[in-house]
A and B are shown apart, each in its own frame.
Chain A
Amino acid sequence: MSRKVLTTPYIVWGAAFIILPLFMVLYYGCTGSDGSFTLSNITAMADSVHYKAFWNSVWIALASTLICLVISYPLAYILSKGKHRGSGIVIMLFILPMWINFLLRVLALQVILSKTGILNAILGFFGLPLQKLMYTKGAVLVGMVYDYIPFMILPIYNALCKIDKDVIEAAHDLGASARVTFQKIIIPLSLPGVISGIIMVFIPSISEFVVADILGGSKVLLFGNVIDQEFNVANNWNLGSGLSIVLMIFIFISMAIMNRHASEEGDNMLW
C-alpha cells in the first residue's frame, strides 16, 4: 500500500484531467442538444465540409511529419556519430526553441514571413521579386515543421546513440559494406526512435488549429478549426465532441498500424 500512495497524485491528476474529460467527450458526442442518445454527431463526419477539413488536416500532418523525418534523420545520424565537436551545440540549438512558448514562436514566424517581413526584406535587398509567403498552406506547414521538429530529432538521436558500436563493427568484420550496414543494421535498430518521432509529430499536427489561424490567416480550414468553431462559436458541444471522437478513433487506428509495423520490423532486426 505504502508505495501505491505515491501514485495518488497521478491517479487524481489522470482522473480529473484525462478520464473525466474523455467520458464527457463521449457523453456529449453521443447525445443530441436535448440529451437523448444519437449517433448523428459522429455520422456528421460524412458532411463534405467536415470531410474536406479532415483530409486537409491529414495531408498537412503527413507532409509535416515527412519533412521533419527527412530533415531529422540525417542530422541525428551525423550528430550521433559524435565525431564533430559541435554536435552538443547543435542538439542544444534544437532544444533551445522548446524553452520558448510555442505561440510566441509562431508569432515570430509571422514577422519573418509576412509581406513586409524579414524574408521579403532580404529578397528585396537583392532585387528579387517579393514572395507571398504568409497566409498560405506553405506557411502553415513551415510553422508546424518548425514547432514539432525537436520531437522528431530527439527520439531518433537517442535510438541511434543506443546502437552498440560492436554490432556495427561485427557487421564490418563479416564483410558488410557501409551501405549494407546502414540498411541492415542502423536503420532497423533506429526504427523505434523513428516510430516514436513520427507519432509525436503526427498526432499534435493532425489536431492543430492555432497555427492555421495565425499563419494561414484562417483561409485554410483544418479539422481542429472545425472542432474549435463548434465549441467556441456555434456553442454546439455535441457536434464538437462527436467530431473529436472521430479524430480520436482515426489517431488510435493509425497508431495501431504504426505499432504493428514497428513490431514486425522489430522481429526482422533481431535476426
Chain B
Amino acid sequence: MNLLEKYYLQGKGKLMAGIFVLVVLLIISTIAFTGCFSSGKKSDDKNTVTVFNYGDYIDVSVLKTFEKETGIKVKYEEYVTPEDMYTKYKSGVINYDVICTSDYMVEKMMQEGEAQKIDTSSMEYYKNIDEKYLDFCKAFDPTNEYAVPYLWGTVGILYNTKVIKEKVDSWSILWDKKYDDQIVMQNSMRDAFMVPLKWNGISLNTTSQKELKQAQSLLLKQKPIVEAYLVDEARDAMVSGDASMAVIYSGDATVAMEENEDLDYVVPKEGSNVWFDCFLIPKTAEHKEAAEKFIDYMNRQDIAQKNFDYIYYGTPNKAVYDTLDDDTKEDYTIFPEEATLDKCEVYKYLGEKTDQYYNRLWKELKSY
C-alpha cells in the first residue's frame, strides 16, 4: 500500500465516521421527536388500560381483581403533583387511558380540549355516586360529563393539642408570632394562597391581581415565622413533633392522627378548599371502552369500600357511606359538617394569565 492510498483510506475513514455520526444523530432525533420510544403508543393490545394516578392513591389489590374479572391488563403509573402529571401527559410519551387528578386540573384539561366525554349512562355503578357531590363537581365540570369523582376532602389545620392550648378555629392562628418556627405551610401555590384569601373572606378563585397581591403580602409577613414549606413531609413533621401546626389535606390529617393521638384537625370557620379528585379520559386515550370499564369498576361498592378503607379520604360513593358505622360518619375530619362545607369552595382553573401571575407571586414569596 503506498502512501497516497493510505491517506486516501484514512480520509475515507474519517468521512465515513462523520457520515455515520450524522446518520445516527438523524435517526435518534427522529425517534425522539416522533416518540417511538414510548411503550404506550406501540401497544396495539386492545385489552389494556393505562392508568395515571397520584402516588399511593389506590388499594393495589383492586387492580389485580379488575384484571382477573375483566381480562383487561392494567398499566399503572403514579405522579406527585397535578403539574407533574400535566407536564408528563403533555410530553405525549405515553398515551394514558384514565387519569385521576384534581378539580382545577380537570377544568384546565377540559378547557384545552384534552378531556373527552365519558359515557356515564352505560355505567352500571355510576348511580352509587351521591348527587350532592356531583353538584359540587359542577363547579369545574358543569354538565358532569367529563369527570367522575373518586375521592374528596378538605384542607385545614392539623395541630398538636399538647403545644397549642387555645382553641384553633381560624386561619389567623397561622400568623401568631407565639408559634414562631412551629408552622408548616403547604408548598404548593394555590393551597398556600388559599389561606390568606379565605381568612380575609375573599374567594379562593379570585382573579383580581390586587387581591392576590394582598394575599402575597400576608404570606410574606408570615414567612419569617414559618418553619418550612412542605407537602408530603408535613405529615411526618407533625407526627414526630417537629412542627406543631400544619396546613394539610384532610386525608393526611387522618393518617397523622392515627399515628399520634395528640393531633387534631380543624377546617377553620372562614372556610377552606374542598377538593375533588376525579377520573377523566384524556383525548389521546386509545382504549376508551376499557377506560370506562375501569372507572365503573372503581364505583362498585366493594371496590370503592376497599379504596376508602385504604386511603381514608371522603368517598362520594353513597353505597359505601351507607354501610359505614356512625363513628366514621361523624368523623368530621373525613366528612365535615354541612355548615363548614357550605363555606368551602372548589378550585377552578383561573386561566393562563392568572396562572402566570400566581407563578410570579409564588416565586417572589419564595425568593424573599
Contacts and interface: CB of A to CB of B under 8 A. Distances in A.
Interface of A: 1, 4, 8, 11-12, 15-16, 19-20, 48-49, 52-53, 56, 114-116, 132, 134-135, 214, 217-219, 221, 225-226, 229, 231-236
Interface residues of B, number: 40
Contacts of A225: 366
B28 interface: yes
B228 A218 contact: yes
Contact of A15 (B21, B230, B243): B21
Interface stretch (B82-90, B282-290, B336-344): B82-90
Contacts of A115: 241-243
Interface stretch (B195-203, B298-306, B318-326, B356-364): B356-364
Nearest to B224: A219
B339 to A, nearest CB: 34
Given A16-B28, A49-B363, A53-B367, A1 B227 contact: no
The B interface, classified by DSSP as helix, strand, loop or mixed, is helix
B86 A235 contact: yes
A116 B187 CA distance: 22
A135 B237 CA distance: 12
Contact of B29 (A1, A20, A114, A132): A20
Contact of A16 (B32, B187, B243): B32
Nearest to A56: B367
B226 interface: yes
A4 B13 contact: yes
B228 A135 contact: yes
B17 A15 contact: no
Contacts of B366: 218-219, 221, 225
B189 interface: yes
Nearest to B359: A234
Contacts of A1: 13, 16-17
Interface string B224-266: 0011111001000100111100000000000000000000000
B25 A221 contact: no
B30 to A, nearest CB: 11
Nearest to B358: A234
Contacts of B356: 234, 236
Contacts of A214: 233
B240 A12 contact: no
Contact of A219 (B81, B86, B223, B362): B223
Contact of B21 (A11, A217, A231): A11
A20 B83 CA distance: 25
Contacts of B13: 1, 4
Contacts of B181: 132
B228 A235 contact: no
A116 B239 CA distance: 11
Given A16-B28, A233-B83, A218 B363 contact: no
Contacts of B123: none
A233 B189 contact: yes
A16 to B, nearest CB: 5
Nearest to A132: B181
25 contacts: A1-B13, A8-B24, A11-B24, A12-B28, A20-B28, A20-B32, A48-B367, A49-B360, A49-B363, A114-B240, A115-B241, A115-B243, A116-B241, A217-B228, A218-B187, A219-B228, A219-B229, A221-B366, A221-B367, A225-B366, A229-B362, A231-B87, A233-B359, A234-B355, A236-B359
